[in-house]
């Protein structure tokens, strides 16, 4: 068997997330179909994480094994011809059989983009271009970046992020399932470590970039929605420790729209898979 690692980028707008679902278009499903077309083998590629419906990726990583022997450049070219234009293989490489896109990951970085309709520098409301709207939160509030930056510092370090996790009965099937010693899924561990996080103005957008050891379902979007409440003045900066301690989703802010979220990069022992 030949063991593969692919780095891919995708526009998640028209997909119902990464994970294959019956009768619904997904990134994993589209890639599996392309692999079947190119190699004749029916396999289900494993991703570094399960991005939700409407979420994008700059550098998602997937792994799988094939019996077919094919040069990496040829596989990359053939898959890009077979895939829809909203998915592109950025790199294809042969790896050791011990490599697994999710289990081998050490860190992930997510990026969230906000278009600010109202800013202190703009006397009138700005209009979000229809060519930008699918890739950013068109936020109607004026946001102050300084308190958002201060509030985000409280989230760095190791915490129980239950207050920022999705409250849904299927979350045990989502990204970051924990395995016991027998390899059985036990559901997500709510204790995660955020290594760095912060806000910046980039290319006319307000961008939140966060790196961590792992993330819960909707965690980044719930953090962004809560920090936006801080930025618009409806939540005090020093409320963040209380929200963390509550371990209750209802204490945190709203869930930011999926369209602004990007899986930016995934880091492994051998280095980091950069965004493209």
Binding residues for substrate are 110
Binding site feature residues = 110
DSSP state of 117: S
Check the CA dihedral 162-164-166-172 and report its sign: negative
DSSP 148-170: HHHHHHTTSEEEE-GGGS---TT
Integer Cα distance of 4 and 12 in angstroms: 23
Integer Cα distance of 111 and 207 in angstroms: 7
Catalytic annotation, pick one of 11, 52, 229, 269: 52
Six-digit token string for 36: 């079947």
Is 96 a residue of the active site?
no
Question: What's phi and psi for 25, nearest 5 deg?
Answer: -75, 125
What are the beta bridge partners of residue 57? 10, 263
DSSP 160-203: E-GGGS---TTGGGSSSEEE-TTS-EEEE-SEEEEEEEEEEEET
Query: Any idea which residues carry the catalytic annotation?
Result: 52
């Amino acid at each position: 068997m030949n063991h593969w690692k692919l780095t891919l980028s995708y526009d998640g707008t028209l997909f119902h997330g990464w994970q294959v679902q019956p009768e619904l278009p997904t990134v994993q499903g589209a890639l599996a179909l392309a692999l079947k077309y190119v190699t004749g083998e029916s396999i289900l590629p494993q991703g570094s994480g399960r991005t939700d419906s409407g979420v994008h990726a700059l550098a998602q990583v997937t792994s799988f094994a094939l019996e077919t022997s094919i040069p990496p450049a040829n596989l990359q070219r053939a898959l890009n011809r077979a895939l829809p234009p909203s998915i592109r293989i950025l790199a294809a490489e042969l790896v050791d059989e011990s490599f697994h896109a999710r289990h081998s990951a050490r860190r992930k970085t997510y990026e969230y983009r906000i278009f600010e309709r109202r800013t202190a520098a703009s006397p009138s409301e700005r209009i979000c271009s229809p060519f930008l709207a699918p890739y950013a939160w068109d936020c109607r509030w004026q946001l102050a970046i300084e308190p958002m930056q201060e509030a985000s510092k409280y989230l760095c370090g190791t915490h129980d992020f239950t207050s920022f996790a999705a409250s849904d009965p299927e979350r045990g099937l989502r990204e970051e399932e924990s395995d016991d010693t027998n390899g059985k899924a036990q559901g997500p561990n709510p204790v995660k470590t955020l290594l760095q996080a912060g806000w910046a103005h980039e290319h006319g957008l307000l961008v939140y970039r966060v790196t961590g050891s792992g993330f819960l379902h909707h965690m980044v979007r719930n953090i962004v929605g809560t920090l936006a409440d801080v930025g618009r003045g409806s939540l005090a900066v020093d409320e963040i420790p209380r929200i963390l301690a509550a371990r209750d989703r209802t204490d945190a802010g709203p869930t930011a729209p999926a369209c602004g979220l990007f899986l930016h990069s995934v880091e492994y022992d051998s280095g980091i898979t950069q965004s493209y």
